[in-house]
Chain A
Amino acid sequence: MELDTKQNGDAHVVTPMVARIDAAIAIQFKDAMRAATADGPGRIILNLDQVTFIDSSGLGAIVSAMKNLGSGCKMDLAGLNPDVDKVFRLTRMDTVFKIFPDVDTATTRAAV
């Protein structure tokens, strides 16, 4: 699967170029995230603005990606559409990740 990556200030912005992060793509997503974030340590912003649907397998893959980063690296989320945001809230994963409305907001609040 395709991950778009770019450096934005001190943050590494990773954007999955897929509409769905579901059970069919969860393993590929984890592998692609591992490759895209191998350069750590640092701050990753996972930009989900292309994603319109996520299931619990996809959610688990995002949690797994964060765990793989280890403690020297931090992963924040940005650009969640309402349905994706709902899955994070329902599972209380909104208490685990910092969630920003979009990448620009996430970047300007990097120092917080």
Chain B
Amino acid sequence: MPGWNLQISFDANDLAIRGALQAVRKSMQTASFEPELMSRVEMVLAELFNNIAEHAYAEAGKGEVRASFAEDMGCVTVAVHDRGQQMPGGMLPDGRLPDTNVPLDDLPEGGFGWHIIRTQSDFLTYARESGSNVTKLRFDLSSGK
């Protein structure tokens, strides 16, 4: 596990995202990370990658995502790059959960993603750098989340 790192790139579409998540899990399994941490990484990156496909690349209809992973001093850090549209307002969404205390027909079917990303990662930053979105995340090995 110490020194573990991984670089991946893939097209921002549903099946390629699934493949990327499975590749990350496999690599983390080989490196003997805790199952709890692997699950958190997969859960958060699924939302982030889906979001890039559905929003950042919505207009283009396609685009590349690059992600690099590293283990360092008991943390896993991830840097995700895409060349899609900038986040609205240049900031990450706040991740407020939609109201679930509503009649059946009004129950939310989406809007959960940023809540999952924000609550299941330990540190998160976003920047627009020369035409790219750069999202950086950190997962602590024993954060109890």
Residues of A within 8 A of B (CB): 20, 22-24, 53, 55-57, 59-61, 63-64, 66-67, 71, 82-83, 86-87, 90-93, 95-96
Complex contact B112–A22 (CB within 8 A) = no
Complex contact A96–B100 (CB within 8 A) = yes
B46 at the interface (CB under 8 A from A): yes
Complex contact B100–A55 (CB within 8 A) = no
Q: Complex formed: what's the CA distance from A103 to B53 in Å?
A: 36
Q: Complex formed: what's the CA distance from A67 to B110 in Å?
A: 14
Q: Looking at the complex, which of B2-10, B75-83, B113-121, B135-143 is the stretch in contact with chain A?
A: B113-121
Complex contact A83–B43 (CB within 8 A) = yes
Complex contact B112–A59 (CB within 8 A) = yes
For B39, list chain A residues within 8 Å (CB). Answer: 82-83, 86
B73 at the interface (CB under 8 A from A): no
Q: A23-B17, A24-B15, A55-B43 are in contact. Are A92 and B110 (CB under 8 A)?
A: no
Per-residue contact bits, chain B 98-123, to A (CB 8 Å; 1 contact, 0 not):
00110011011110110110011000
Return B17 CB to nearest CB of chain A, in Å.
Answer: 7
For A63, list chain B residues within 8 Å (CB). Answer: 107-109
